[in-house]
Amino acid sequence: MQCPRGHGELAVEHHGGIEVDYCPQCNGRWLDHHELDLVEARVVPQTEQRQATIEYAERQSELACPVCDKQMRAFNYRAYDLELDTCVDQHGFWIDAGEEGQIRDILEERVRGLERSVSAEEAWGKFLGRVGQNSLWDQVKNLFGGRR
């Protein structure tokens, strides 16, 4: 396969069982379509993971797919300010040098957000348990004059 940035033949490297094609010149990476899900699964706990990459702000890319040579589509990864390129026929994703670190940072931020959400839900559940069997609305009404 050829580098979509025009730098020549892509080489192959292995990262934890994932075969990644990379450009020795520009250090960009080609991930087959399913491989980005595998990368995400390493960072996001299985129970919390949502499969498939969420794409926002799609536009036509200036790059061609190294598999089929069709013009790719660029998008903002998971609504963050990180633009990736993907093949319209789902052959894979082109990740420019340095973007793999940004993907990891986005996923780690997402995990922290999920952990905060779980913690808040647990705290809310404990609060409701202390309030008793009445709904929160009943408790508020009782604070302001009791039942009518």
CB 114 within 8 A of CB 48: yes
What is the rounded distance in angstroms from the CA atom of residue 43 to the CA atom of residue 30? 19
- Both tokens of residue 90? 């789902």
What's the pLDDT score for residue 81?
A: 77
| pTM of the entire predicted model | 0.66
pLDDT digits (tens, 9 = 90+) for 57-80: 789 999 999 999 999 999 988 767
Top-confidence residue, 28 or 114 = 28
What is the rounded distance in angstroms from the CA atom of residue 1 to the CA atom of residue 12? 10
- DSSP code at position 10: P
CB 7 within 8 A of CB 29: no
pLDDT tier, 134 (very low <50, low <70, confident <90, very high otherwise):
low
CB 85 within 8 A of CB 74: yes
